[in-house]
Structure 1
Amino acid sequence: MARADKVSAAEWQMRVDLAAAYRLVALYGWDDLIFTHLSARVPGEEGHFLINPYGWMFDEITASSLVKVDMDCRKVMDSPHEVNPAGFTIHSAIHAVRHDAHCVMHTHTVAGVAVSAQASGLLPLSQQSLFPLANLAYHDYEGVALREDEKVRLQADLGQANVMILRNHGLLSCGDTVANAFLNLFLLQRACEIQIAAQAGGTPLVQVPKVIVDGIAQAAAQVTRGLGGNLAWPALLRRLDRLSPGYAD
């Protein structure tokens, strides 16, 4: 397994952040047994990425256990752990064309899949929904993501968006840092949870006016003081240190 003294300082920091994101996904209950993936570019190494060891629960993952792979999900650094090439199909498609997307996260949460199955998709029902709605894409379901030819359509559908709803499948986020990708995923996931809860009430729903939805991007920068996900990330790491230590090993 990788050790801090065997990789660059930048790679080790990326490993720690990505392992933390895996632990946070588990902590929030967004994991799906051993399935779904979070990936991150290896700083300074073109075409190399970090991904989870296949078969590990997300709350087991550590910085050293992450596997370094190339664009075809082949190991490029010795590791005793196996990887799931099929699971990297979506991630490799995005990393190939979105060089600003240093981290890509994909989940199969109940609320996320539920909203992905609704013809109307995500609705402007909450303040939380406005942030993903300002930058949201959709991709129609084509079966289990195993085929190379689907990548082109996935890339075209994502465009420059940082959050995507995969129809009948789940949620996806990307970001220039792990912290930003996580915040993007958190907001999309929370918006889906609120939508399902609101619809369960069985009464007519009030939607946020379009003029407010269209103006939310500027408010987002003000709310995070221009720091994006980095505003909450240190606090999230402190929470992990209390509840799920060992991710940085």
Structure 2
Amino acid sequence: MKSAVMGRTVMVSVLLAGVALMGASGCNALRDDRYGALMVNIDWPEETRGIPSYARSARIILQDPGGGFGYGGNGYGDRAQIVNRNRSSAYEDEIRFDNLIRRYDEDYPFFDHYIEVIFYTGTGGSGTVVATAPYTFRYREFNWNHSLNVSSYTAAEIVSLRVDGPFTVTLAGGARSLIGTGLDRFNRNLALPPRALRWEVVGGDAGTITTDGVFTPVRQGSVQVRLYEADGSVEPAVATINVVP
């Protein structure tokens, strides 16, 4: 299942599946009502928006349901798998968790299962967390094959941008790198890779700037520069750079 985010398409879906038991005659016997499986699908987007394009890996965490079936002492503990993005074009990764206990026995209720997909800037679940997708699900009666879309639950960590300067450069000093920062909802700095942010001149002609933030003064005066996220999901930050002799 796919959903449009910021006008572009991205999908993170979860498929719950059970496997029928086979009797000696080769016919399907009754299903073991206690067990199911979990499959997590991630449609990595093209270099666009949804899951941030600068995300390079995802960690899928399935929490142990805990005491819900602890009566039998057969909790499987938290499980996690990591998938690395291996191309820049759109494609789908699939992650499967098997032998999930739906409920301890017929007389017990189905358990709530909690999963979270966490996206990182680096491979192997390293670097900065840039988006998360939490979801809680529960198996139902006669439900061994169930799909649900968690795309709408994916939230990027970045909420604002800030230009940190320098705001005054000398004409004689030549090119300088400007510093820009992405901030989370707690106003904390996010250590984002250079590919995550872009720069451009939006006013004035006293200097030029490359997309990666190298400012070159060309005469005395001032220039308005804009810092924006490569995926365009947050409000850009604008600052004035003054060029002095």
Q: Which interval holds the TM-score relative to the shorter structure?
A: under 0.3
Higher relative contact order, chain-length normalized (CA < 8 Å, sep 6+):
1
Q: Which has the higher helix share?
A: 1
TM-score by length of structure 1 reads 0.27
Q: Which has the higher strand share?
A: 2
